[in-house]
Amino acid sequence: MANMQDVARLAQVSVSTVSYVLTGARPISAATREKVRAAMAELGYQPHAMARGLASRRSRILGLLLPIDERGLGATETAFVTGAATAASAAGYHLVLSPVDAGDLDGLRQLASQRMLDGVLLMEVQLDDPRVGVLRSAGVPVVLIGRTADTTGLSYVDIDFDRTVHDAVGYLADLGHRRIVYVNHSATAIAEGYGPALRSRDAFATATAGRRIEPVMIPAEDSPGGGRAALASAFDRAPDLTAVLAMNESAVFGILGGLAAHGRTVPDDVSVVSMVTSPQVAELATPALTTMTSPGTAVGRIAVEQLLRHLGAGSTDSAGSTGSTDSAEIHQQLLPCTLEVRGSTGPPPTLTPAPTGRRSAHP
């Protein structure tokens, strides 16, 4: 197996020059760099990742802090992770998933103090998220997948919930729906300040007010059982409902089952739109779900690209810690979900046109 000395002999340079090409610790001319890389390719030399990290004071490891409960990761959440992991790999970094949540700040401080991570992506962000302060105090570069209430000095990539919810409500209203129930995440998530739950709730209130639709909002546990319970509550509050807009992907299948149990067909009696949902999840339902399709892969990729910009702009001190995001340009970006119409939506019953030659089921 070839080593660094073999590369130096073939390239006719010093061992230290080979090291500088690998680590970037000192500038090397383009001609010399190409000679070294050609020698490495000819010999099949693979630099030791840990050694490169020690020399450059970088681990080349990025952390993705994503709290995970007993449900695990669904297809929609996995898209965020996949987008981030692919972008990290393309840049020569490894992405490590860590389930540290806002309730384990001591664990987060310990993780940050070990200097194992060059930078961190933060998911499942609360409006007031104490993890941000811990990471910034430790000098760990951080980019949010989500947003806090105060984003001063923070880079983030998030879903544009205002536009996404307004587009979904507008689509249902244009079909003729006036009794739309919004099923959100759990009451606990709302009370804890979970950003997507609060932002989508406020956007729904604004969107329905603009169209003179009385908002009916129901929290639901993130499970099919939670969806069934939420639907029962929805029928109590709005027995004439004709559409359900669900922000809770785990609950939406319980909603579909609950509608069948109530003798309602989808979409003839009730239309269903699932928010921030992947096509893979949409196709699991019967009929396939109309969705505001999540841009998860793009969000994960852009977040990693920005984190790497921060790492490139940050300085490295003698202890090996990188500079904070203050040394790089702050990047703040919102991506909307896109409407994809499938089989779960249509006009409300009173507006369903009668097929040619047949009597309408809803005169």
pLDDT in tens, 309-357: 998 854 433 334 444 444 568 999 999 999 999 999 999 997 555 444 3
What is the pLDDT, as a whole number, of residue 136?
92
- Within a domain: 258: yes
- Within a domain: 357: no
- Note whether 244 and 170 are same-domain residues: yes
- Note whether 155 and 167 are same-domain residues: no
- Calpha distance 31→44 (Å, rounded): 20
Type and span of the H or E element at 120: strand 119-122
- Note whether 32 and 100 are same-domain residues: no
- Note whether 252 and 142 are same-domain residues: no
- Note whether 176 and 215 are same-domain residues: yes
Q: State which residues form the domain around 182.
A: 161-293+340-349
- Within a domain: 207: yes
- Within a domain: 193: yes
Quote the number of domains for the chain: 3
Choose between 55 and 122: higher pLDDT. 122
- Note whether 286 and 206 are same-domain residues: yes
Q: Long-range pairs for 283-288 at CB < 8 Å and ≥24 separation?
A: 284/253, 285/252, 285/253, 285/256, 285/344, 286/256, 287/342, 287/343, 287/344, 288/342, 288/343, 288/344
What pLDDT digit, counting tens, does each position of 115-150 carry? Answer: 789 999 999 999 999 999 999 999 999 999 999 999
- Note whether 42 and 112 are same-domain residues: no
As a whole number of Å, the CA-based R_g of the chain is 26
- Within a domain: 212: yes
- Note whether 197 and 344 are same-domain residues: yes
- Within a domain: 26: yes
Distance of CA 260 to the CA centre of its chain: 31
Q: How confident is the model at residue 215 (pLDDT cuts 50, 70, 90)?
A: confident
pTM tops 0.85: no
